[in-house]
Structure 1
Amino acid sequence: MKALALLSGGLDSMLAVKTVQEAGIEVEAINFTSPFCRCSGAAGGCGAAASAASQLGIKLHYQGCGEDYLRLVENPPHGYGRRMNPCLDCRIHKFQLAKQKMDEIGASFLVTGEVVDQRPNSQRKDALDIVERDSGLRGYILRPLSAKHLRPTIPEEQGWIDRQRLLDIKGRGRRQQMDLAEGYGLDYPCPAGGCLLTYEEYSQKIKDLIRHNGRLDLRSVNLLRFGRQLRLSPEVKIFIGKDEAENEQLRNLAQPQDYLLEAPDVAGPVTLYVGPRDERLLNLAAAMTAGYASVPPDQSVAVQATSGAERLMLDVQPMPRPEIRNYFIYHVE
């Protein structure tokens, strides 16, 4: 008998796997990556999930959430949480992908670390029922940590797993889970929210993208992780690096039609200009770049703007930072 587990790498998902393993079930795991994961972004895999899989001795599959997932974020059938987080539709989407993986590897049921009433949007009993119904997995989702607060699943009814081995954890507290992890000798990361869509600042940036671009795309969403973000016009947006690591990220993310701006003779940021060429806005972006460079406010400085083979030298006065902040998409620096 084999089960597929959703493995975030956090405490609850690790304990769910361990509980099922202790009942003699073979487990493989799946980890979902998306542009909104705090740990991994759109590419690669989650380090916490890889570490958890290694501790648990299970095979780990990675599954990316792409453009179809962005359509859900734009218009989720079940609505948003407090921010731009479409929690129910996100779970349904991931469970549907997990169902495909179950069929591929020959797993008989799905295991998750969900705990009843731990999260207000997606872990209420009615929300769990909606996810089961709409994912096409009714009866096949085992939640070992809260199983005794839920109706028996098909794995329990069929005798694949003994219900008495399952747990009765409920609510937001983590003491029971921590005690269990200590008993199993598991190392785990500190509990923390993993989705950027639950943060106010990030949600405002997503709303700005939808308002001006009409729809989300992976490149635009991935850029939201970097730099101070400013809207210069409905079509033009800039990203000003906050440190050398972000400067390098912006250099790497620039496409041939974008402009990269920096003052070559002084220490300062790299600015990524995304949108159609506009001389006035390029000069505005250059002044903002100089505003974060090591330049006295009353002294002009040369800022180089590069796009493909084009190189411009723009002589500008640094814009005062209070003025720059008027262009921020979200007014927190």
Structure 2
Amino acid sequence: MAAPEPMPGYEELGRRCYRSLAGALRGCTDCGWELSRRTWAENARLAWSEPLLCLVCAVGWTVVRRAASRRLFRRFAEAYKEQLDEKGLCRASLDEAGSTATSAGSGKAGYVTAVGEVTTVFAAAADLTLLCCSPFRPDWRKGAEVPTDIAVAYLIQCSFYCHSIYASLYMDAWRKDSVVMLIHHVVTFVLIALSYVFRYHSVGILVLFLHDISDIQLEFTKLNVYFKYRRGVYHPLNDFISNVGCISFSISWFWFRLYWFPLKVLYATCHSSLLSVPNIPFYFFFNALLFLLTLMNLYWFTYIVFFVAKVLMGQVREVNDVREYDIDAEKKAAALEKNDGKLHNSSPCKERKHLMNGIVKDKRL
């Protein structure tokens, strides 16, 4: 077995990827719909039962979320109603997080923890977690068998992101980054689904692993942020965990999503893949989505930098979510509603309404 190619720096990544993309573009003399159709017919492998199973699991995520929100998380919200009101948060914040106010999708903390750990095991089984070799296998071939453990991980992840697209539109509270979040869910769903169809699972499982690491820390940190004050009592352990988690999350976000991901994954898919398979299927399509994913990682990293800067300048004293939608704007929008021909100032939290695309809208399943 040949020694693995050393990981490049950012400058070398940009130079070689640009050279590979430009060369592939010059060599593509018949690029277009006909080539895409022919490439799909020759390389795509997908049984009809697989997307059906994915859809069933996506519906299952939605049903489980609805049941958990109504029967479990909302009870916690009622128990900590005063705490939520003090922080300017609505009861639906709990519905989204599976705890008092994680603000990130019902049960997501438990989901990303479980799936993240499972994906880590799957990636280790596939000799990917050490990142010591190129994630693009030189022996790639169309229609190759996908190992059962990786196929299960793909089913779980793909079905959850299918549910997440629906949840972002109709279930989650609207925030400053909700449009980007929706685009992220669509891009991730397409990448997961088509990397399975074209048997790029060795790359795909590594992408999932690199992104799940920071998601686990994010949800766990936010749980502790909102539980450090419970029933008017300060809990120093939760405060300490949230502070440590914030630091750990910031470091892991950069390390895994902005260091390992571009220098290992993008380098392999954009440059190394052409050396192994010159006519690799949908080369431009997959790389465009991966670069878009990188841009979104950079976008969210600005929130992290923004928060750290505010902490250093003494503008904030505790960990919070700078992505939350504007509560004042939401109240102003609610005040414009008419009730029997009169304006009123009803609390949007009490009515369980949230700002969505600039419109106060009920969140219903």
TM norm structure 2: 0.28
Larger Rg: 1
TM norm structure 1: 0.30
